[in-house]
Amino acid sequence: MRWLSADDPAISRALRDPRTLGLATHGGGAPLAVDARFPQAHLRKHVIGSDAQVVDAQVVEIWSGRTEARTETIGATYCRHNGEVMFATVSAPLESASNDALGEGTYIAYQSLLAALRASGYPHLLRVWNSIPDINLNEDGLERYRRFNLLRHKAYEELHQPTGAGAPAACALGSFGGPLVLYCLASKTPPQAIENPRQTSAYQYPQQYGPRAPSFSRAALWRGGEDQSDVLFVSGTASIVGHQTLHHGNVAAQTHETLTNLQAIVAEAVSRDARGLVVLSDLHLKAYIRNAEDVPIVRQALAGHGLDADAVLYLQADICRADLLVEIEAIGPAQSIAVTTGTADTQDSSFRSSNDSQALPESG
Ligand code: 3EB
């Protein structure tokens, strides 16, 4: 990803550009005050600097298309679309007194999201980001991530989304507090699902990982309207071979295994005739790290694979299996849909548009 400083004109330009589809903000603090037309997923995950310290800033991830977009709110889901692709976000507060608040929140959020996709005419999910507070917590005998899988599966089934082959690329990470937050990209034309020959498909994981297997593909390859270059959305990828976690407690080896998986997924996509895509270093990477102090080891492993460790966004987050220390996702080489990221000093007034911040369609 491109790192831009808070006052970089590219960021403020994107936040005024009608081609901008939506944004995700990573970090503590409040959601960013931006034009109310732009849907915003506000994710509570700490940004980690190169010194392995948590940075007191937000990173803004801005998704843009090639043509002017239009905002539409459908039920609880905030959408913005351009005739080709849509950014959408929905969140569910988890404060209800019910002892299955997470299950209910997951089901309601997905029902709302999938209904919005259908109503707006963008029925194909390309990529979903799930942010789940206390993801590894055990509640009534079931880990919250496993409960999430159960209810996501139910909503997908009821709204006729594929839960197995053809499921979107996805990731599911923890957050420190806040609501359940989903954001996604969806399109009018379907992507091609890519699996990893080194890994059991997640939707075929055995029951030992929970009553319903996770509904996601290892990657989604999307052509869109751009002939020159496809977009590959690679799901959160970790140190799993077959269906087993490898290298317990060894973050260097887990990162190495994760990168081998990522390379295998990219090779698989290339073998499907992906246009404009050759190697992993063509893609933007985001790394989720359970323990912030492991960042230097992860950076070293990335560099050891010939990747630019400075170009990666590092976020501190719990990962959906308690024995995983690192998970990495990838996207690119984007043409029809582009991502720009930058750090926003939340004190910096240059990010605040003066009078339209009250009606912020925040989801966090
Ligand atoms: C794995 O490979 C690690 O539940 O949406 C990665 C990406 C993982 C997405 C999800 C879970 C999800 O099983 C976990």
- Distance from the CA of 172 to the center of ligand 1, in angstroms? 6
Tell me how far the alpha carbon of residue 145 is from its chain's centroid.
16
Ligand 1 atom nearest to CA at 324 = 3
Under 8 Å between Cβ of 312 and 1: yes
| Pocket around ligand 1 at a 6 A CB cut-off | 130, 170-172, 202, 214, 216, 235-236, 238, 240, 320
Atom 14 of ligand 1, nearest CA residue: 320
Q: For the chain, 364 residues long, give each residue's pLDDT as a single digit of tens.
A: 344 544 567 778 888 999 999 999 998 888 888 889 999 999 999 999 888 888 877 888 999 998 999 999 999 999 999 999 999 999 999 988 788 999 999 999 999 999 999 999 999 999 999 999 999 999 999 999 999 999 999 999 999 999 999 999 999 999 999 999 999 999 999 999 999 999 999 999 999 999 999 999 999 999 877 666 789 999 999 999 999 999 999 999 999 999 999 999 999 999 997 788 879 998 999 999 999 999 999 999 999 999 999 999 999 999 999 999 999 999 987 666 777 777 765 444 333 332 222 222 333 3
- Distance from the CA of 330 to the center of ligand 1, in angstroms? 13
Other CB atoms within 10 A of residue 159 CB: 15
Q: What is the distance between the alpha carbons of residues 196 and 232, in angstroms, rounded to a whole number? A: 14
Tell me how far the alpha carbon of residue 42 is from its chain's centroid.
12
The encoded tokens of residue 354 equal: 């003066």
- Distance from the CA of 36 to the center of ligand 1, in angstroms? 32
Under 8 Å between Cβ of 280 and 330: yes
The encoded tokens of residue 253 equal: 């080896």
